[in-house]
Structure 1
Amino acid sequence: MREIAAGERVSLPGAQLEIGLDGPSLDRLGAELGSMLVALDARRQCSAAFRPLDIGARELRPGAAFDEMGALRLDVAALPADVERLLLILFLRRGAGRGLSFRDFGRIDATFGDFRFSLDLTNRGEAALIIGEVYRREGAWRLTANGQGFVGGLPALANALGIDIPIPVAPDLPRPGERGHGSGSSFSGSGFAVDSSHILTNAHVIDGAAKVDISGDRLTMPGEVVFSDPRNDIALLRVDRQLPAFARFRSQIDLHLGEDVIVLGFPLQGLLGAGPQATAGNVSALCGIGNDTSVMQFSAPIASGNSGGPVLDQSGLIVGLVHASLNLDRVREGGSSAENINFGVKGAVVRSFLSAVGVEPELCLEAPVRSRADIVREARTFIYRIRCEG
């Protein structure tokens, strides 16, 4: 692989190009990093035929798509005719001034096919940067390693370039350091049993944990992280004892806008008491930020500690995994207001994850509608508090 430096221009050997990222801190901070591909026309304005492509949206554009591992795949021969330049932008999902900058990443290595661009971020306090550009010159496509940064994040980048790009609103995930990224810290979340020896939770709940303890109804036991999928925010824990009960998943993967749901978890431990809390709401949208179809929105109130808990339908069957809340501070800064906008990983995505790691949850084709009290009573037998130490 050939190393290239900032500002260096090289010719693309073919029409297809795979762009990937690596770095010493991406495993720890990858959830904080966003990627966006912006296509410009000959006037250096956003292409009318190619809207900005956000990695979090899991969308496709002509000649471009982010794959499941986060790599960007380009086919420049399939790009719309008005596209003259592509900018690959990296940005901090929380924006500028949120206690995190690119210096926390140390270094990022970007691979553009057979070329590699290593960017030293040790003294970089920016919140957005252009990692590379692919552009058309005299009928051929070329690549430039860039590295230009913007302290003010995406808004500053858009202003400097004179373009209009969407500013994603980040879910209210915990900041690094609030969840066991430092030695000696403790943090907690929720989880639920999916068979007699495995418990499901969020990847961000156990991120940075050196020790995991699981407690439920008269049960306390250590847990072992079997597999973690930070991209979809799912993690699987294993325990060395027989669990008394486990959740059943709804066989029908379709969700219905407006259907009632119940959420259980262990929010605000130490303030609301040691037991699980139950709230109710409905499915308020069938996709997340940026049309992310892997998640749903629901209105049942949640708080810190609910992460990893089950989202249940009116029959008490799993239809989702609690993921995050909308960052209301960011919304208010933009002049808008919102309440109870929460996100859950869809049951279909969770089932695909479980299948990939060799766990087959119990499915239920049909079940009667039950009272909330009855559903909560049953769910208490398979819901657990996840306590972690860093």
Structure 2
Amino acid sequence: MTQAISGQRITLTGTSEILIRFAGRDASRLSVAAFTGSGALHPLDQMGTTDWRLSGCNHDKLEIVAYITDDKQGGFVNSAYPCTVTIDGTSYSFPEPVEQLAAVIIGEIYTKSGTVRMKVSNEGFTFGIDAYARARNLGDLPIPNRSRPRDNAPRPSPWGDNPSPDRSSPWGDPSPPPRGGAFASGSGVLIGPNLIVTNAHVIDGGNEFALGRTQQRLVPVAVDPMHDLALLQGQIQGEPLPIRINSPVWLGEAVMAAGYPLMEVLGADLKVTTGNVSGLTGGQGDVSRFQFSAPIGSGSSGGAIIDEEGNLIGITSASLAHQNFRDRGAISENVNFGIRAAIVFEMIAAAGMPLPTTAAQAGGNRRDVTNRLRNSVVSILVSA
């Protein structure tokens, strides 16, 4: 068997047959698909639980992607390696990814000067096939063997995934804020000029959206229900928060959560709480989220989770449904979940918006950091 290296080019023919086999521990959780440069699906034949076959390579561009089918349960393609790719009878051992990835582009087939080649790859996406689909603008293209709940199926869960502010949520139904016509409120973070990120569930069910402070109208420009994120645009005065994407979230690091919980009770000013990162995954091992202990409440959804320097590391998304656990005889306090800032950055890129350019902060005391938050974290009013 020949050891392939990342970046190596292997010559193919238009009639080449490619056999792909994964033999690692999690190989049974994997699927393999190919996508054309125009965003169309080129199906592979599944020969067994861990074997696939690709016939016909006469495309100008074709990416072969291996991905965890149930990545909401956690896990990475890395644990499905070793990967053997056999091309026209010659077997290659393909390189394992260096980073932990839930979707890996194992090969890129292209045609140049009439010659068909495959570029060996071990790059991909930490957050799985959904991140790949966003990056390639695949839209609603069905992904083979993708495990996900039906859109209309009820999902009772102690993790409080995708709560709706105007319906049931992990912290209960919020009362409407004291504004005419508004039936729900949430928080948002200014991440670029006139660009706000919030939770998708904050704006779900609404037709009109406005800043709580100025009543300035906001318009949704992108929504990602899978990761519970939404981007809104409007005339917004403030200072964008820097997004920390060059450093991972660290277990135990100190954080602050900023938002507008319980506006009808606590008032419309910004609330800031402190805590730490208490877990590196969300409910059921969701690698797109992390757990933190800073207290939050109804209306905190979409707010900022920042490090000690004032850099955005996540967006407040959900809190553990306490009653569900009490009914089981368990106790839970301050078990909250945030969406990683890297997902926000990916969403901005996928939406075709200008990438944030605010430089990361370093140093500064808590008072200065908190004062900066007043110009970066906003309240959002949702109206029918």
Secondary structure of the residue that 2:342 maps to in structure 1?
A: helix
Q: CA deviation at 1:335?
A: 2.0
Higher alpha-carbon deviation: 188-197 or 298-307: 188-197
Unaligned stretches of 5+ in structure 2?
Answer: 1-30, 34-48, 50-67, 82-101, 104-127, 134-139, 175-180
* Structure-2 separation of matches of 1:253 and 1:169: 26
Contact 1:172 1:327 in 2 (8 A): no
Which residue is equivalent to 1:93? Answer: 155
1:199, distance to aligned residue in structure 2 (A): 1.0
2:192 matched residue in structure 1: 195
Do structure 1's residue 173 and structure 2's residue 168 form an aligned pair?
no
Cα deviation, residue 381, structure 1:
0.8
Report deviation, 1:222.
0.7
- 2:226 matched residue in structure 1: 231
Q: Partners in 2 of 1:88 and 1:215 — Cα distance?
A: 35
Structure 2 residue aligned with 1:56: 72
Which residue of structure 2 lines up, in the alignment, with residue 318 of structure 1? 312
Contact 2:165 2:202 in 1 (8 A): no
Aligned to 2:342: 348
Q: Secondary structure at the match of 2:309?
A: coil
SS at match of 2:300: coil
Matched, 1:256 2:250: yes
Aligned partners of 1:17 and 1:74 also within 8 Å? no
Counterparts of residues 35-114 of structure 1 (less than 5 Å): 54=70, 56-59=72-75, 67-68=129-130, 73-74=144-145, 92-94=154-156
Summarize the alignment of residues 273-312 of structure 1 with structure 2, pairs less than 5 Å apart. 273-312=267-306
8 Å Cα contact 2:252/2:276 also seen in 1: yes
In structure 1, what is the Cα distance between the partners aligned to 2:315 and 2:293?
A: 14
How many Å separate the matches in 1 of 2:73 and 2:228? 15
Tell me, in whole angstroms, the C-alpha distance in 2 between the residues paired with 1:223 and 1:332. 39
- What TM-score do the two structures reach when normalised by structure 2? 0.59
Tell me, in whole angstroms, the C-alpha distance in 1 between the residues paired with 2:336 and 2:363: 24
Match of 1:99 in 2: none
Q: For the residues of structure 2 that align with 1:172 and 1:371, how far apart are their CA atoms?
A: 34
C-alpha contact 2:162 2:201 (8 A) present in aligned 1? no
Contact persistence 1:67–1:73 (CA under 8 A): no
The percentage of aligned residue pairs carrying the same residue is: 31
Structure 2 CA distance for aligned equivalents of residues 386 and 227 of structure 1: 16
Change in Cα spacing, 1:292 to 1:242, as seen in structure 2 (3 Å) is closer
Partner of 1:32: none
Instruction: For 2:182 and 2:358, locate their aligned partners in 1 and report how far apart those are by CA, in whole Å.
Output: 38
Q: Give 2:328's aligned residue.
A: 334
CA contact (8 A) 1:228 1:235 kept: yes
Give unmatched runs, 5+ long, in structure 1.
Answer: 1-15, 19-38, 40-51, 76-86, 96-167
How many pairs were matched up? 253
TM-score (norm: length of structure 1): 0.58
Cα distance change on mapping 1:252 and 1:369 into 2, 3 Å: same
1:92 is paired with a residue whose SS is coil
Q: Could you tell me which of 202, 210, 213 is aligned with 1:213?
A: 210
Kept in 2, the 8 Å contact 1:188–1:205? The answer is yes
Q: Distance in 2 between matches of 1:310 and 1:326?
A: 18
- Deviation of 1:72 after TM superposition, in Å, equals 5.9
2:165 and 2:201 in contact (8 A); partners too: no
Q: Following the alignment from structure 2 to structure 1, what is the Cα–Cα distance between the partners of residues 162 and 231? A: 22
- Relative to structure 1, is the Cα distance of residues 382 and 169 closer, same or farther in structure 2, using a 3 angstrom cutoff? closer
Post-superposition offset of 1:92: 2.9
Q: CA deviation at 1:257?
A: 0.5
TM superposition shift of 1:382: 1.5
Contact 2:289 2:337 in 1 (8 A): yes
- Deviation per CA, 1:164-206: give whole Å up to 9, x if none: xxxx7444823764589xxx76100000111121111110001
| 2:363 pairs with 1:376 | no
Distance change in 2, residues 1:289/1:53 (3 Å): farther
The 2-side partners of 1:258 and 1:88 are apart by 31
> In the alignment, is the contact (CA less than 8 A) between 2:164 and 2:204 conserved in 1?
no
* Distance in 1 (alpha carbons) for counterparts of 2:255 and 2:148: 39
How far apart in 1 are the matches of 2:341 and 2:159?
A: 23
Instruction: Give the Cα–Cα distance (whole angstroms) in 2 for the partners of residues 223 and 88 of structure 1.
Output: 31
Measured in 1, the distance between the counterparts of 2:144 and 2:276 equals 37
Shift of 1:260: 0.5
- 1:244 Cα deviation from its structure 2 partner: 3.2
Q: Structure 1 counterpart of 2:144, which letter?
A: R
Q: Is the 8 A contact 2:277 2:290 kept in 1?
A: yes
The amino acid of 1:247's aligned partner reads L
Give the counterpart letter for 2:216 in structure 1: M
Conserved in 2, the CA contact under 8 Å of 1:250 and 1:363?
Answer: no
Partners in 2 of 1:196 and 1:306 — Cα distance? 22
Contact 2:245 2:341 in 1 (8 A): no
* Secondary structure of 2:243's aligned partner: strand
Please say which of residues 203-212 and 327-336 is displaced more in the overlay.
327-336
Q: Are the counterparts in 2 of residues 251 and 363 from structure 1 also a CA contact under 8 Å?
A: no
Three-state SS of the structure 2 residue aligned to 1:290 is: helix
**One-letter code of the match for 2:302?**
G
SS in structure 2 at match of 1:270: helix
**Structure 1 residues 338, 243: CA separation in 2 closer, same or farther (over 3 Å shift)?**
same
Q: RMSD over aligned Cα, in angstroms?
A: 3.3
Q: What is the letter of the counterpart of residue 359 of structure 2?
A: C
Counterpart CA distance in 2 for 1:326 and 1:292 is 14
Residues 266-299 of structure 1, C-alpha deviations (whole Å, 9 max, x = no match) = 0001111111100000011111112111001100
Contact 1:192/1:382, CA 8 A, preserved across alignment: yes
Match of 2:216, SS? strand
State the 1:372 CA deviation. Answer: 2.0
Pick aligned residue for 1:359 from 354, 362, 376: 354
